[in-house]
């Protein structure tokens, strides 16, 4: 397999990122709020930074990671990104994500994260998924909780952002947690 497969949820298509996605990513990452809690992007964002990040991402193998563009099925627009970094020896992965501000609060990242969790446990047969976010990032906390991640602890001053060390919450989802969450999601998002 040269890249991770295209995934679909009720409102989104999750397809592998492409070089031509640069403009859309620059556009929605130019909003300060989108980069507020991101580790690898500061504000203001510059096109060269996005291009170099995209080149790195596209040169990684699927054994290392997967990056999906989140495409709104209704408009066909790229509205976010979700990434999965893999540790095959330990059968675990780590999820990260961001979304264009105009689309926040509609349950879209919960939907996308759940779809990637399904792919990780059902297709890749992972044992564990991880997700971290800065303590102040309440939206990301809610996404973690809604998808069924368990809070496992905190890295004190674990991330350097905007000239300060920030506390970071760490979440995990085991295959057994996923099985528990599955019933709940089947009712909300019937796309399996």
Ligand X SMILES: CC(C)(COP(=O)(O)OP(=O)(O)OC[C@H]1O[C@@H](n2cnc3c(N)ncnc32)[C@H](O)[C@@H]1OP(=O)(O)O)[C@@H](O)C(=O)NCCC(=O)NCCS
Of 15 and 133, CB closest to ligand X: 133
Q: Stretches 16-24, 50-58, 108-116, 173-181: which one binds ligand X (CB under 6 A)?
A: 108-116
Instruction: Tell me if 92 contacts ligand X by CB under 6 A.
Output: no
Which residues are within 8 A (CB) of 45 and not within 5 positions of it... i.e. 6 or more apart?
Answer: 26, 29, 30, 35
CA distances from 85 to 61, 94, 158, 163 (A): 10, 5, 18, 26
Q: Which residue among 53, 77, 94, 107 contacts ligand X (CB under 6 A)? A: 107
Q: Say which residue the tokens 């209704």 belong to.
A: 74
Least distance to ligand X, CB of residue 150, Å: 16
Asked whether position 14 contacts ligand X by CB under 6 A, the answer is no
Q: Which stretch binds ligand X (CB under 6 A): 3-11, 101-109, 151-159, 182-190?
A: 101-109
Distance CA 166, CA 136 (A): 9
Distances (CA, A) of 143 to 35, 49, 81, 104: 17, 27, 15, 11
Measured from the CB atom, the residue of 54 and 108 that comes closer to ligand X is 108
Q: Which of 3, 13, 30, 38 contacts ligand X by CB under 6 A? A: 38
Least Cβ distance, residue 99 to ligand X (angstroms): 4
What six digits make up the tokens of 160? 């350097």
Is residue 9 a contact point for ligand X (CB under 6 A)? Answer: no
Q: Is 41 in the site for ligand X (CB under 6 A)?
A: no
Two structure tokens written together for 178:
């996923």
84 is an interface residue for ligand X by CB under 6 A: no
60 interacts with ligand X by CB under 6 A: no
- Residues 109-148: x/- map of binding to ligand X (CB under 6 A)? xx----------------------x---xxxx-xx-----
Residue 24 as a binder of ligand X (CB under 6 A): the answer is no
Q: How far apart are CA 116 and CA 97, in angstroms?
A: 11
Q: At what angle do helices 175-188 and 108-118 cross, to 10 degrees?
A: 130
């Amino acid at each position: 397999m040269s890249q991770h497969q295209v995934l679909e949820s009720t409102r989104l298509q999750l397809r592998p990122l492409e070089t031509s996605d640069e403009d859309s990513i620059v556009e929605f990452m130019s909003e300060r709020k989108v980069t507020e809690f991101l580790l690898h992007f500061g504000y203001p964002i510059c096109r060269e930074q996005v291009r170099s990040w995209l080149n790195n991402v596209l040169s990684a193998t699927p054994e290392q990671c997967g990056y999906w563009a989140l495409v709104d099925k209704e408009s066909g627009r790229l509205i976010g990104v979700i990434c999965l970094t893999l540790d095959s020896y330990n059968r675990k992965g780590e999820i990260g994500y961001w979304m264009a501000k105009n689309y926040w609060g509609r349950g879209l990242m919960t939907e996308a994260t759940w779809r990637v969790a399904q792919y990780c446990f059902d297709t890749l047969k992972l044992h564990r998924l991880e997700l971290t976010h800065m303590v102040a990032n309440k939206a990301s906390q809610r996404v973690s909780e809604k998808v069924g991640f368990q809070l496992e602890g905190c890295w004190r001053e674990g991330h350097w952002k905007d000239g300060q060390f920030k506390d970071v919450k760490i979440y995990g989802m085991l295959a057994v947690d996923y099985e528990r969450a599955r019933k709940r999601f089947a009712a909300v998002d019937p796309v399996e």
